Amino acid sequence: MSLMSEARSSVDIASFYWTLTNRDTGTQEPSAVQGETVLQTLSELSGKLKVRIAVNTPQEKQREDLRLLNDSGADIRMVNMKALTSGVLHTKFWIVDKKHIYIGSANMDWRSLTQVKELGAMVYNCSCLAEDLGKIFEAYWFLGAGQSIPSPWPPSFSTQFNKDTPLQLALNDTPSSVYLSSSPPSFCAAGRTPDLQSILSVMEDAESFIYIAVMNYLPTMEFSKPQRYWGDIDTQLRRLAYERKVKVRLLISCWPNSQPVMFPFLKSLASVYDPKSKLDVQVRLFVVPPNPGPEIKYARVNHNKYMVTDKVAYIGTSNWSGDYFLRTAGSALVINQTESRSEEPTVQAQLRAVFERDWESDYSSPLTHSSDLTHFC
């Protein structure tokens, strides 16, 4: 709502799907009013400003909100990711007036506002960062016109800001090194760090700890047939825990839709714990209590996707399994403020506080090699 109130000329939104009213769930849940308010406000803006929406090709029941916005004046392009990469457009970000941005885990779904635990970042008055995120949006917009993936991408999509040459700017009056990463690699124009490389690089730079909070964590190609193991991230965590004695914490969501195969892999990672050998990998499962009223499908889950180390805050839009980095469109904001001399808390400090609050909370339970998961989720 804050972003929309700032809008004077344009709103660009990249999104997975749109279900901002009770209609999609067939419920009478009062908290859906927040989603309905967002939809109504955006439809009013669509008649006044330039509103563009790049969205994953939707199922029929997810088209109603988009029809309303289109009828109100929004320009909508559906990106057929299934045909392009056999993945989905899973990104979630907003760009307003080419100077304000939101990026994070929340879908354009009323449940994301009231029934699901989400985390994202807002950056105001930062045209250089908004312009760079705009290049990722323009790639979706290009592909939404029915184009095939160019190789290489035209120069207008390229960036000079990446893990090796981040953008230097002040965020909250604090010197910051910042860049945006993107997935899959085939969507990355010259200069853009692919999201997986960004994650591995952030881990590589950590000196004392790596804290990760994601809904799904699987060292597999989650949606591939035949089944394929994919150990890039898992191997990196084990290596850093062993070689550098980095403290690793994973806070993973547990809910009725969790894949059973995820837990043996997490137990395996949690077993890399031996104080005598200075191995310190721990896993906890986070359970959001059920709604007191009627059950709402695909709700009550910790949906965030972020990592924080002693140096860096990484806020993304992808779950952590192979398909999300190799076939699915996602994006992430990476911020390093280790040079900070400011009194303001850094983004890294804020994100660490969120993680530690959740890790220590009553909603979080340790997962060990011997945990009985029968009634866990």
Residues catalogued as catalytic? 90, 92, 97, 303, 305, 310
Tokens of 160: 């000079």
Instruction: Give how far Cα 207 sits from Cα of 91, 203, 241, Å.
Output: 30, 9, 10
Helix axes 33-46, 64-72, angle to 10 degrees: 30
| Radius of gyration in angstroms for the set of CA atoms belonging to the chain, rounded to a whole number | 20
Question: Could you give the count of Cα atoms lying within 13 Å of 330 in the half-sphere of its Cβ?
Answer: 27
Helix axes 262-270, 232-243, angle to 10 degrees: 10
- Alpha helix positions (H), the chain: 2-6, 33-46, 64-72, 81-85, 110-114, 127-143, 195-205, 232-243, 262-270, 322-326, 347-359
Q: What secondary structure letter does DSSP report for 257?
A: T
To which residue do tokens 């949690």 refer? 270
To which residue do tokens 């804290």 refer? 211
> How would DSSP label each residue in 277-311?
GTEEEEEEEE-PPPPSSS--TT-SSB--EEEEESS
